[in-house]
């Protein structure tokens, strides 16, 4: 009986400590579960938008690169910049029309558009501004050179392969000489739209 009286305070104290520890443990588990639900909801796109998904996607790109969201045609693309879709018009080239509702589909327009989709759709690219050109054209599109991850200048590639013409709008641009040479080479070798039977 005397021993019980001596041990009882220690038993009660230990029991209270265990209860406190249990409450703290349950609180921690609850917090972790709440965080997990929010994280999974963000990844699955729950809510009004998928901002968390956009952030995680952007982090998978190389520094300075943006993701191509859509290829409009052979010389225009939509890219994602800080989670916002932005339209980009490629400097120094003009591909045959394939989507302009005001104009009929031009010779080699579909082929040019398909080539651009093959090289750019869903890819990460780097954009280069040209100090000799405006930043934005009259339609609100960014004016840029587009580079593939291997360093290829996509604008020049389209001209070189015969899927676009060299195009100078009002003032000369940084790579004008290179693009003109690329077009001349495509013509000589009858590549793409310059082939004998391209538009027949």
Identify the three-state secondary structure at position 68.
Answer: strand
pLDDT band at 36; cut points 50, 70, 90: low
Among 69, 87, 106, 141, the active-site one is 141
CB 181 within 8 A of CB 175: no
- Pick 61 or 94 by higher pLDDT: 94
Distances (CA, A) of 196 to 50, 66, 109: 49, 37, 16
What does each C-alpha distance from 159 to 51, 116, 133 come to in angstroms? 37, 12, 19
Q: Name the catalytic one among 89, 111, 157, 183.
A: 89
Q: Is residue 60 predicted with pLDDT exceeding 80?
A: no
User: Of 82-86, 141-145, 184-188, 195-199, which range is least confident?
Assistant: 195-199
Q: At 3, is the pLDDT very low, low, confident or very high (cuts 50, 70, 90)?
A: very low
- Tell me the per-residue pLDDT of 95-115, one tens digit each, with 9 for 90 and over: 998 667 677 767 888 999 999
Non-local CB neighbours of 160 within 8 Å, separated by 6+ positions: 182, 185, 186, 191
The model's pTM is 0.69
Active site annotation includes 59: no
Average pLDDT in the chain: 79
**Could you tell me which residues are beta bridge partners of residue 165?**
94
How many Cβ atoms from other residues are within 10 Å of residue 148's Cβ?
A: 16
Which one is predicted more confidently, 190 or 56? 190
pLDDT of residue 109: 87
Catalytic status, residue 89: yes
* Residue 141: pLDDT band with limits 50, 70, 90: very high
Q: What are phi and psi of 175, to 5 degrees?
A: -105, 25
Tell me the mean pLDDT in the region 129-142: 97
Q: Is 98 exposed, middle or buried (0-12, 13-18, 19+ CB in 10 A)?
A: buried
Annotation marks residue 51 as catalytic: no
Question: Collapsing DSSP states into helix, strand and coil, what is residue 182?
Answer: helix
Q: Evaluate if residue 25 carries a pLDDT over 90.
A: no
Lowest mean pLDDT among 33-42, 86-95, 156-165: 33-42
**Segment 121-148 mean pLDDT:** 97
Residue 125: enclosing H or E segment and its boundaries? strand 124-128
- At residue 27, the pLDDT reads 55
Give the mean model confidence (pLDDT) for residues 34-49.
44
Strands 124-128 and 142-147: antiparallel
The pLDDT > 70 percentage for the chain reads 66
The pLDDT of residue 93: 98
Considering the candidates 97, 160, 166, 183, report the single residue annotated as catalytic.
97
């Amino acid at each position: 009986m005397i021993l019980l009286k001596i041990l009882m305070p220690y038993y009660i104290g230990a029991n209270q400590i265990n209860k406190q520890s249990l409450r703290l443990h349950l609180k921690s588990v609850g917090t972790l579960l709440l965080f997990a639900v929010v994280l999974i909801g963000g990844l699955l796109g729950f809510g009004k938008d998928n901002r968390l998904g956009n952030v995680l996607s952007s982090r998978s790109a190389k520094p300075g690169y943006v993701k191509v969201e859509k290829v409009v045609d052979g010389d225009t693309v939509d890219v994602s910049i800080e989670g916002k879709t932005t339209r980009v018009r490629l400097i120094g080239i003009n591909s045959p029309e394939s989507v302009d509702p005001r104009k009929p589909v031009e010779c080699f327009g579909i082929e040019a558009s398909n080539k651009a989709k093959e090289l750019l759709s869903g890819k990460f690219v780097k954009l280069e501004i040209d100090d000799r050109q405006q930043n934005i054209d009259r339609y609100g599109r960014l004016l840029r050179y587009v580079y593939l991850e291997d360093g290829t200048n996509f604008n020049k590639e389209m001209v070189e392969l015969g899927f676009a013409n060299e195009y100078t709008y009002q003032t000369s641009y940084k790579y004008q000489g290179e693009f003109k040479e690329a077009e001349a080479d495509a013509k000589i070798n009858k590549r793409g739209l310059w082939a004998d039977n391209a538009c027949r």
